[in-house]
């Protein structure tokens, strides 16, 4: 029981980061129908920026906020300069462009911040006794904090979508962009904002995972991005809530797999069981657990 | 101010290399009403899309004293043109109520928006019953009601309806016919194909309320409150035949 609970705690924290990146993927996908391959590397850039601002003596929280602002600009610029002009011609061109951006950002980060891992500052208290004990299992503040931040951010997104005019516009554009234009929604601006928000959340997610890992390097986001794409697929690419829940699920599942089967699976293969589950689920629910196969009527 | 709300001269539009409208002339009076008739493929939908700025076009288009020949769809909506697109174009994933609210996107008078939603629910009780249902799961006719109500949520001065009666029962059709628009003043020599009168508004139909297309820009306070109600209520008494089911 204690062991299971421990796995759940650790898994939820790990999964929170997947959820944040997956949330970004879903926001972009719903708006433009594109899978942003560079989402993980945008997050990596955000993580490096937080590190850099911190090095310059800016308080860590402000550093992370600044990184989110830069992330927003990066995402919005991507939409404006790459996705918009290319998307008019062909969706495949956007696909290739986001892959190019993935590689480009990764090498750019490498060129600026060097090949070796940077020791990363911690957002939350992490002395030996900084944890709460629940039924015998320990939830360290640094991990609990990640989970809480994710919950807050998801809540904010929910409010944005459901309660604000921008959210209504984002949902309208995702649902039918022609009609969105016809009711006067500036669809381009809305899409640019979607990309910006996705990248801003990503920047925070990247900084958080780097903080949990205690370091950041060029490979930090690769596996995270794969897990996040899996989460978005499992949840259904058009369901933000589904992406978040699936991210948490994958986090718990992989932590459990690594813990219960250290020899067969261990740290290196821990994500694999999650993929098996996802494939099984997609066999029965092709649109993902919470995804909608579009309804239309003539 | 001129008595023409919408004035179009020599409108050309099409899709890439294919030109569909070769110099269309058209006008709609203030408080007036116009119908465009034409065979399938004649270019009626294209005309609507060109007027609302959804297509590249050239020619003179002036609306309410503004040149809108190069304006974006957003700017055109803000000037007061709303469109019910062919095939309804509702937001299938959004609830009925959110569809209406999205229709009011350009408005900033928050409370009045709620009142208008309420008004359309009163006019189309079916929509109220389904207010939290996703629009994509409405019946075809219910979606058409929603599309019309959504277009009117922006409080337009001119309403463009593309095949507004599609899928609607005669009762509702009577009501929405009064909202349908545009006539065929395409001068035959310029029109791509002669517009054949494939559809005729039956002569038994009640004379369309003359103000349907225009809701007097100056008279904002009286906007709609009675007028639209009258329209839809009068339809239930003014429908001579084919009343049938709903
Ligand atoms: N997206 C498009 N690309 C190329 N050609 C198009 C496109 N949309 C319409 N057309 C062509 O433009 C012409 C006019 O089409 P339009 O939709 O305006 O006709 P319509 O008068 O609305 O017909 P209907 O009564 O069938 O709705 C048609 O010949 C059609 O093939
Ligand atoms: Mg048509």
Which protein residues have a CB closer than 5 Å to ligand 2 (ion)? B 44-45, 86
ipTM, two decimals: 0.81
Taking an 8 Å cut-off on Cβ atoms, the answer to whether B154 and A183 are in contact is yes
Number of the ligand closest to the Cα of B86: 2
Which residue's CA is minimally distant from atom 13 of ligand 1?
Answer: B41
Taking an 8 Å cut-off on Cβ atoms, the answer to whether A180 and B91 are in contact is yes
Q: Does residue B44 line the site of ligand 1, with CB under 6 A? A: yes
Taking an 8 Å cut-off on Cβ atoms, the answer to whether B139 and A297 are in contact is yes
Mean pLDDT of A67-86: 94
Least trusted range by pLDDT, from A133-137, B74-78, B98-102? A133-137
pLDDT over 50 at B196, yes or no: no
DSSP state of A33: S
Class of domain B4-242: alpha beta
What is the C-alpha to C-alpha distance for residues A177 and A166, in angstroms, rounded to an integer? 14
**pLDDT attached to residue A50:** 94
Q: Does A88 touch chain B (CB under 8 A)?
A: no
- The Å distance, Cα B42 to ligand 2 centre, comes to 8
Q: Does residue B196 line the site of ligand 1, with CB under 6 A? A: no
Mean pLDDT of A23-46: 89
- Domain range list for chain B: 4-242
Q: Does A189 touch chain B (CB under 8 A)?
A: no
Burial of B115 (0-12, 13-18, 19+ CB in 10 A): exposed
**pLDDT attached to residue B1:** 59
Mean pLDDT of B170-174: 53
What is the C-alpha to C-alpha distance for residues B125 and A263, in angstroms, rounded to an integer? 64
Which residue's CA is minimally distant from atom 6 of ligand 1?
Answer: B15
Which of A30, A165, A177, A184 would you mutate first to test chain B, the one with the most B CBs within 10 A?
Answer: A184
**pLDDT attached to residue B86:** 81
The model carries a pTM of: 0.80
Taking an 8 Å cut-off on Cβ atoms, the answer to whether B94 and A172 are in contact is yes
Which residue's CA is minimally distant from atom 30 of ligand 1?
Answer: B41
**pLDDT attached to residue B169:** 60
Closest-approach residue (CA) in chain A for B142 = A297
Residues 106-145 of B with CB under 8 A from A: 106, 134, 136-140, 143
Q: Does A293 touch chain B (CB under 8 A)?
A: no
Taking an 8 Å cut-off on Cβ atoms, the answer to whether B136 and A182 are in contact is no
Q: Does residue B46 line the site of ligand 1, with CB under 6 A? A: yes
**pLDDT attached to residue B239:** 29
B31 or B222, greater pLDDT:
B31
Taking an 8 Å cut-off on Cβ atoms, the answer to whether B94 and A178 are in contact is no
Indicate the average pLDDT of chain B: 70
**pLDDT attached to residue B29:** 84
**pLDDT attached to residue B194:** 30
C-alpha distances out from residue B30 to A105, A148, B7, B201, B213, Å: 57, 59, 11, 21, 8
Q: Does B103 touch chain A (CB under 8 A)?
A: yes
From A185's Cα to the closest Cα of chain B, the distance in A is: 6
pLDDT over 80 at B70, yes or no: yes
Please provide the DSSP assignment of A251-272 as one string: HHHHHHHHHH-TTTTTTTTTTH
pLDDT bucket at B164, cuts 50 / 70 / 90: low
**pLDDT attached to residue A228:** 92
pLDDT over 70 at A144, yes or no: yes
Residues 152-181 of B with CB under 8 A from A: 153-154
Which of B79, B83, B102 would you mutate first to test chain A, the one with the most A CBs within 10 A?
Answer: B102
Name which of B73, B93, B103 is nearest A292 (Cβ-Cβ): B93
């Amino acid at each position: 029981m204690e062991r299971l609970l421990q796995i759940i705690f650790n898994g939820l924290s790990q999964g929170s980061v997947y959820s944040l990146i997956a949330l970004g993927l879903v926001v972009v996908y719903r708006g433009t129908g594109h899978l942003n391959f560079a989402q993980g590397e945008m997050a990596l850039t955000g993580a490096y920026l937080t590190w850099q601002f911190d090095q310059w003596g800016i308080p860590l929280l402000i550093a992370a906020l600044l990184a989110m602002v830069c992330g927003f600009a990066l995402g919005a610029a991507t939409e404006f300069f790459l996705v918009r002009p290319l998307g008019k011609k062909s969706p495949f061109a956007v696909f290739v462009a986001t892959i190019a951006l993935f590689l480009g950002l990764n090498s750019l980060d490498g060129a600026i911040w060097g090949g070796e891992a940077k020791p990363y500052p911690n957002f939350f208290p992490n002395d030996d006794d900084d944890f709460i004990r629940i039924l015998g299992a320990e939830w360290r503040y640094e991990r609990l904090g990640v989970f809480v931040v994710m919950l807050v951010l998801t809540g904010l997104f929910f409010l944005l979508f459901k309660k604000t005019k921008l959210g209504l516009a984002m949902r309208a554009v995702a649902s039918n962009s022609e009609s969105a234009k016809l009711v006067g929604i500036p669809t381009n601006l809305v899409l640019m904002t979607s990309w910006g928000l996705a990248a801003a959340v990503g920047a925070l997610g990247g900084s958080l995972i780097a903080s949990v890992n205690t370091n950041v390097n060029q490979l930090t986001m690769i596996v995270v991005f794969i897990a996040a794409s899996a989460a978005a697929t499992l949840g259904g690419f058009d369901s933000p809530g589904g992406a978040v829940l699936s991210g948490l699920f994958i986090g718990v599942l992989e932590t459990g797999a690594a813990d219960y089967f250290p020899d067969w699976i261990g740290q290196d293969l821990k994500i694999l069981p999650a993929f098996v589950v996802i494939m099984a689920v997609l066999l029965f629910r092709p649109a993902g657990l919470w995804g909608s196969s579009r309804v239309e009527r003539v | 101010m001129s008595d023409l709300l919408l004035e179009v001269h020599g409108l050309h539009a099409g899709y890439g290399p294919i030109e569909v409208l070769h110099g269309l002339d058209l006008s709609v009076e203030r408080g007036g009403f116009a119908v465009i008739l034409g065979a399938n493929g004649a270019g009626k939908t294209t005309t609507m899309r060109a007027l609302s700025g959804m297509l590249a076009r050239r020619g003179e288009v002036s609306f309410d004293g503004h040149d809108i020949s190069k304006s974006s769809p957003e700017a055109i909506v803000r000037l007061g043109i709303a469109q019910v697109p062919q095939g309804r174009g509702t937001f299938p994933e959004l609830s009925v109520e959110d569809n209406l609210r999205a229709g009011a996107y350009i408005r900033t008078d928050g409370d009045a928006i709620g009142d208008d939603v309420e008004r359309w629910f009163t006019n189309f009780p079916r929509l109220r019953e389904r207010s939290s249902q996703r629009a994509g799961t409405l019946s075809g006719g219910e979606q058409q009601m929603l599309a019309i109500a959504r277009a009117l949520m922006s409080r337009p001065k001119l309403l463009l309806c593309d095949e507004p009666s599609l899928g609607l029962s005669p009762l509702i059709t009577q009501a929405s016919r009064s909202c349908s628009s545009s006539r065929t003043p395409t001068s035959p020599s310029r029109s791509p194909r002669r517009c054949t009168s494939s559809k005729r508004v039956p002569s038994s139909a009640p004379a369309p309320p003359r103000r349907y297309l225009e809701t007097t820009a100056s008279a904002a306070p009286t906007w709609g409150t009675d007028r639209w109600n009258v329209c839809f209520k009068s339809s239930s008494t003014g429908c001579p035949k084919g009343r049938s089911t709903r």
